[in-house]
Chains A and B, each alone.
Chain A
């Protein structure tokens, strides 16, 4: 899976984050360093409350760190700049799918293209192809309410990849699925990332899912450790 690993896609240096709790602050991240390259997949594990989602939000530019630097490629990223670049650079998959209930599967997949002003014939073809690859070509015109949990998450995976991002961040994507369905979703996710050479950071509790990635990191006491 790591064959052809080349350019660095994302680098985080000394990321620190704390939250106020009463009259004191809780340090969640105490200096996280992380680098990921094109086509590489990394799993981050950790106990509940260890700060996995916080780290992912900072890496996605959704939240600001207290200290440290974040680079997407060669570019140092701040939260505001991230908003403008996230659409093309990043794909995100969430535990709760977050599909827009008024849009069918295809339109949900196309939403990042619409937001990025990139809705054209090529985008429509990419979206259709992705839905085929996740096994939902027959259900592209179904509303989220007409899809099962696994199907919804596969739509979310297709949506995350439709803009051909350099990096995909997945926050416990199988958390709301049963084991068998979760397994299938992870396989689809890893397979698509590998075929498109999209870097993947997967936050998961599931040891088996983490084992399918190139590297497994453990977030403990606010820092990442190799497993």
Chain B
């Protein structure tokens, strides 16, 4: 081991019973900054990851859409399923409706599913908490959990569905009665928006309510494992879709939202990085104090034949070691905090009696977290680099110190 690294280690962690107070303070400053960065980046990443999971789970990797209803969708699905990389495709119809139960209205989105093919694309059965997707028919619906809870409706009860088509028919003096349907299941995806405002029904029922006859609003496409969504959307578009029909990857469909999400994440990273920079200033301050306290020892090292650059390396190494240890501890603390994040959030919510509000207004039923390897690498590299820079000023000062001047201060 080079002498300057050996001495740096011994100065940071002196032998004997002395507690390395300066080291501990400096390391904890860096560690706390890194902890915050890891936790916040992971939670921000978790939002993106959860949104991707929910979109892909409920809509497939690719959506084929058109401004107008799509006719002859069976032929189109057959064509799409012949595209390499496509695992399956299923049609859907969607739109806003009003539902009424015991005089209590709600205005959810309706989603009509083709029961013959939906399970090959969308894994909704996995999210059905009460009842079964198998019980769904043209006279029944499955409700999202928050919608059922807010309306106070349970499986087996009935509700009425009113569609915007009724207004159109009324203009033609035609009476279009609401459809009374039975609730056969409760579904919970984990996304507050989807869970609070979706009615799942058969494609036939949705087509009737929207007067689509045999048309659909779009087609959801599931990709084979390992096939990228952008690549698959490009392949489907290249396969020759009817005029006005186009395939979008889920990222295209939610491009603006994902951009905002990424921007938020980048801004928060940039702001939190200042915590590490502040911690680095404390490292610089500690090391500068150390240089002043050890003036004579630095002079001695010069008298023993140590080159100025090696003396500088001794103090630079201390900044680097503080950075490495602080980063390692911060990563550890960060993952620990992530492991107990839901308990902490729920405890805080309960203590402030806001647990119901949290469940109702928060985007997810659990605080999501997804730690991207690239985020961790960026945090590690930047923190260690900043810590190394923090050691440069004290190192430069130590290297400039001449032994004669150091001894003269005696």
Contact = CB atoms under 8 A, between A and B. Distances in A.
B296 A62 contact: no
B257 interface: no
Interface in B1-43: 3, 6-7, 10-11, 14-16
A102 B302 contact: no
Interface in A38-85: 53, 57, 60, 62-63, 83-85
Contacts of A101: 14, 297
A116 interface: yes
B112 interface: no
A114 B11 CA distance: 16
B300 A60 contact: no
Nearest to B410: A96
A88 interface: yes
Nearest to A82: B305
A86 B301 contact: no
Given A92-B303, A100-B300, A57 B14 contact: no
Interface string B298-314: 01111111110010000
A111 B10 contact: no
B305 A102 contact: no
Contacts of B296: 96, 98
Interface string B278-303: 00000000000000000011011111
B289 to A, nearest CB: 15
Given A57-B404, A86-B305, A94-B407, A114 B6 contact: yes
Nearest to B10: A102
A223 interface: no
B303 to A, nearest CB: 5
B297 A100 contact: yes
Contacts of A116: 305
Contacts of B306: 87, 115
Given A62-B302, A115-B301, A143 B307 contact: no
A112 to B, nearest CB: 5
A103 interface: yes
Contacts of B301: 115
B304 A115 contact: yes
Contacts of A53: 407
A92 B403 CA distance: 12
Interface string B370-410: 00000000000000000000000000000000111001001
B11 A83 contact: no
A127 to B, nearest CB: 14
Given A83-B307, A115-B3, 12 more contacts: A60-B303, A63-B404, A92-B303, A98-B297, A98-B303, A100-B7, A101-B14, A102-B7, A104-B15, A112-B304, A114-B6, A115-B305
Interface of A: 53, 57, 60, 62-63, 83-88, 92, 94, 96, 98, 100-104, 107, 111-112, 114-116, 143
Interface of B: 3, 6-7, 10-11, 14-16, 296-297, 299-307, 310, 402-404, 407, 410
Which 3 A-B residue pairs are closest in the complex by CB-CB distance? A87-B305, A114-B3, A102-B14
